[in-house]
Amino acid sequence: MEEFHSGDEVSFSPDEASNVVKECIEGIIGGVDYSQNKVNQWTASIVEHTLTQLVKQGKPFKYIVNCAVMQKSGAGLHTANSCYWDTTTDGSCTVRWENRTMYCVVSVFAVAIAL
Amino acid sequence: MFPSDSFCLSLNRESRKIFFGLNICICVFCRRGPLKLGMSKVTQVDFPPRELVSYTKETQTPTQTHHKDDEEEEEDLALTQPALEHQEEKDSQKEEEEAPPHELTEEEKQQILHSEEFVTFFDHSSRIMERALSEQVDVFFDYSGRDLQDKEGESQAGAKLSLNRQFADERWSKHRVVTCLDWSPQYPELLAASYSSNEDAPHEPDGVALVWNMKYKKTTPEYVFHCQHPVYCVNVVGTQNAHNLISISTDGKMCSWSLDMLTTPQDSLELMFKQSKSVAVTSMSFPLGDVNNFVVGSEDGSVYTACRHGSKAGISEMFEGHHGPITGLDCHTAAGPVDFSHLFVTSSFDWTVKLWSTKNNKPLYSFEDNSDYVYDVMWSPTHPALFACVDGVGHLDLWNLNNETEVPTASVTVEGNPALNRVRWAHSGREVAVGDSEGRVHIYDVGEQISVARQDEWTRFVLTLTEINENREDVEELAAQRLAA
C-alpha cells in the first residue's frame, strides 16, 4: 500500500525505465547461451525483476511488462505495438537486447494512475 | 494500490459500483480538465531473418526482360554499374513482386552490410567488376597493319628488355621491402609477392603477402594475406602428392613442414659444417628434380651442399669463393638434351655473381660487371645459358653465356634506382619479375631473341663451359706458378 503524492503531475520517463530493464536483462541472461529448459525461468525472472524495480521507484503508474526471448536460428522476428492513452502522462519503452544465441525484447507500458 | 481501497471494502457491491463511479468522476474533476486520450506511436521491433542463398541449376529463358537486361548490361564492358547497385535493383524488384518496399532503418542496413553473406558476395563481385572495368579492349584494332604504316618506331619484338607493368599497392606494399616472389605453376598469370614489415606503421601487420594477376589490367591485388610475423622465404619441394615445405633460417636450422600441420615441423635439421660451425643460411636451392640434396649459401660467404635424409644428412661440402654474404643462389633448372643440374650461380655482397659446379670446390667463373651489392640471381627456366641478376642500384642484368661472358647481354635500370631485392623468371621464361625495396614489383618482358632458346643452345653451352673451364685452369696454373716463383 504505497502512498502517492496526490496532485503531482508525473509523466513516464522512458530512459529511466529503459536503464532499469537493461540492467535486469544483463543480470539474468547476460553472457549465457540459449537453453530451452532454462528460458522459461529467464523470461519470468526478467518480468518479475523489472516490475519490482519499477514499482520500487514509487511513481503512480500501473505497469505492464512483456518479455520475449527468441533463439537465433535465422528466422526473422517482427512485432509492433501501439496504445490509446493519455499521451501526456503515460508512456512505454521497448528494449531490444541480443547476444550470440538469442534475442530478447522487453516492453514496459506505464499508465498513470488517476488520482 | 488505490489509497481508497480500504474504504471500498466496507461497502457492499452495489454501493461499491456507485462509489467507484463517483470516485472516477471525482478524480476526473480533481484533475486539470477532462482526460485527453490519444494514440501513441507504434513501436516496432524487427529482427530480419538470415538470408539463405540457394542456387538452381536450371537455365531460365528470359521472362522478366528488365531483370535480364540488367544482367546483360553487367557483362558488357562498356557500362559501369557497380555491383552494389545491381544488388539493390534485384532486391527492389523482388520486393515489388512481394510487397511495397519499406525503408530500411540504419540498424538494418548495418546488419546487412556486416552479414557474412554480404561480405563474401561483395568481395567476390567487386573483384570481378574491377577486372572488367580495368580492361581496355580496343575493338578498332586493325590486324592487317594498314594503320601501323603511318606509325614510326620499332615494334616491341625488337626490344630486348621492356617494362610490361608495375605492381604496387598504396595500402599494403608501400614502405615495405619485397622479400620474396613466386610465380604460380598452375596459373601462369598469378604472381605471389611477400613483403617485410612496414617500419612507418607499427600497428599494421608485420607480414603481408599479395597475389597479383598479370592477366587483367586492374591495379589492385587479387588477394591480400597478412600475418603478424614478417615473411621471408619458403620453398615447396616434391611432387603434387608427396611434398614438403622447407624453411631455413639464419640460426642454421632447416625445418621441413607438412602443409596439413603447420604448428610444428615434421623434422628439423641443424646445419653444421664439420660438426662445429653452425651455418647461417641466407639462401637455399634444390637442383632440378632433387628433393634430398640441396645447396645453401651463408652469411660468411661460403656455399655448402647438404642432404636432407640419409646417413650423410646435413652439410657435405663447402665451397669458398665469395668475399661477402651470399644473397642469392640458384641451381640450374632449364631441362634439355644435356643435364646441367650440377651448375649453380650465386650472388653476393662482394659485387660479383659466380658460376659453380657441385663437382668443383672453386667457382668456375666470376661475373664482375656490377658496381654494387648483387641481391639476387636466377637461371632462366627455359634457356640453359641465360640468367638474370639484380643489384642495389636498380640494375636488372640478363647474362647469356653463349653470347658473352664479360658483360650482360641485356640490361635495364629501374626508374628511381631503387635497390632491387628479388628477381624471378616466370615459368614461361618470357617475363621477369623484379621486387624492389620500396614495395613495388616490376614485370619486364624479355625479347624473343634472348629468351627463346634454340635447339643448339644446350650443345653451345657445353662448349661455353669447356671454354670457361679451360680458362680457369690456365688462370689457376698461372697463379700456382707465380706462387712457386
Name the 3-class secondary structure at B81: coil
CA–CA gap between residue B130 and residue B133 (Å, rounded): 5
Write down the pLDDT at residue B292.
81
Residue-wise pLDDT for B438-450, tens only, equals 889 999 999 888 8
Q: Using a CB–CB cutoff of 8 Å, tell me whether B31 touches chain A.
A: yes
Give every CB contact of residue B439 below 8 A, 6+ residues apart in sequence: B168, B169, B173, B174, B175, B176, B177, B178, B195
CA–CA gap between residue A4 and residue A7 (Å, rounded): 9
Q: Using a CB–CB cutoff of 8 Å, tell me whether B114 touches chain A.
A: no
CA–CA gap between residue B399 and residue B446 (Å, rounded): 12
In whole angstroms, how far apart are CA B57 and each of B21, B91, B277, B448?
72, 21, 64, 46
Mean pLDDT, range B32-60, rounded to an integer: 77
Give the lowest-confidence range in B86-100, B259-273, B293-307. B86-100
Write down the pLDDT at residue B182.
81
The closest of B167, B249, B247 to B209, measured between CA atoms, is: B167
Structural domain contains residue A30: yes
Number of Cβ atoms within 10 Å of the Cβ of B216: 17
Structural domain contains residue A26: yes
Residues of A in contact with B40 (CB under 8 A): 82-85, 87, 90-92
Residues of A in contact with B52 (CB under 8 A): 74
Q: Using a CB–CB cutoff of 8 Å, tell me whether B262 touches chain A.
A: no
* ipTM > 0.90 (yes/no): no
Mean pLDDT, range B31-42, rounded to an integer: 75
Q: Decide which of A63 and B38 is more confident.
A: A63
Q: Do A3 and B35 touch (CB under 8 A)?
A: no
Q: Which long-range contacts (C-beta less than 8 Å, at least 24 apart) are formed by B314-319?
A: B314/B269, B314/B270, B314/B271, B314/B272, B315/B271, B315/B272, B315/B273, B315/B274, B315/B279, B317/B358, B317/B361, B318/B273, B318/B361, B319/B356, B319/B361, B319/B362, B319/B363
Write down the pLDDT at residue B374.
92
For residue B23, give the C-alpha cell.
470516485
Q: Report residue B78's pLDDT band, with 50, 70 and 90 as the boundaries.
A: very low
| A6 has a pLDDT exceeding 70 | no
| B22 has a pLDDT exceeding 60 | no
Are B312 and B305 contacting, i.e. CB atoms less than 8 angstroms apart?
Answer: no
| B184 has a pLDDT exceeding 60 | yes
The closest of B284, B255, B278 to B267, measured between CA atoms, is: B255
CA–CA gap between residue B262 and residue B350 (Å, rounded): 36
Write down the pLDDT at residue B26.
44
For residue B124, give the C-alpha cell.
567476390
Q: How far is B120 from chain A (nearest CA, A)?
A: 18
Q: Which helix (H) or strand (E) holds B451?
A: helix B448-451
Structural domain contains residue A8: no
Name the residue among B1, B27, B39 with its Cβ closest to that of A84: B39
Q: Do A88 and B36 touch (CB under 8 A)?
A: yes
Structural domain contains residue A5: no
The closest of B190, B141, B138 to B167, measured between CA atoms, is: B190
CA angle in degrees (0–180, nearest 5) for B140-B145-B151 = 90
Q: Using a CB–CB cutoff of 8 Å, tell me whether B22 touches chain A.
A: no
Q: Using a CB–CB cutoff of 8 Å, tell me whether B50 touches chain A.
A: yes
Give every CB contact of residue B337 below 8 A, 6+ residues apart in sequence: B458, B459
Q: How far is B119 from chain A (nearest CA, A)?
A: 17
Amino acid at residue number B130: E
Structural domain contains residue A9: no
Structural domain contains residue A107: yes
CATH of the domain at A29: 3.30.1140.40
Q: Decide which of A2 and B183 is more confident.
A: B183
The backbone region for B179, taken as left when phi is positive above 0, alpha when psi lies in -120 to 50, beta otherwise, is: alpha
Q: How far is B440 from chain A (nearest CA, A)?
A: 43
Q: Report residue B183's pLDDT band, with 50, 70 and 90 as the boundaries.
A: confident
* Nearest residue in chain A measured CA to CA from B39: A84
Write down the pLDDT at residue B315.
83
The closest of B198, B181, B177, B199 to B190, measured between CA atoms, is: B181
| Structural domain that includes position A66 | 14-112
Domain count, chain A: 1
Write down the pLDDT at residue B64.
58
Q: Using a CB–CB cutoff of 8 Å, tell me whether B39 touches chain A.
A: yes
| A106 has a pLDDT exceeding 50 | yes
Q: Report residue B35's pLDDT band, with 50, 70 and 90 as the boundaries.
A: confident
Amino acid at residue number B179: T
Structural domain contains residue A3: no
Structural domain contains residue A45: yes
Cα atoms in the Cβ-side hemisphere of radius 13 Å centred on B379 = 28
| B68 has a pLDDT exceeding 50 | no
Q: Do B40 and A85 touch (CB under 8 A)?
A: yes
Give every CB contact of residue B139 below 8 A, 6+ residues apart in sequence: none
Q: Do B36 and A3 touch (CB under 8 A)?
A: no
Write down the pLDDT at residue B98.
52
Residue-wise pLDDT for B87-142, tens only, equals 554 554 444 445 566 777 788 888 888 888 888 898 889 888 888 888 877 777 77
| B354 has a pLDDT exceeding 70 | yes
Torsion of CA B379, B380, B384, B388, to 10 degrees: -60
Q: Report residue B60's pLDDT band, with 50, 70 and 90 as the boundaries.
A: low
- Dihedral sign of CA atoms A108, A111, A115, B1 in order: negative
Mean pLDDT, range A11-23, rounded to an integer: 91
Task: Provide the whole-model pTM.
Answer: 0.56
CA–CA gap between residue B270 and residue B255 (Å, rounded): 9
CA–CA gap between residue B209 and residue B206 (Å, rounded): 10
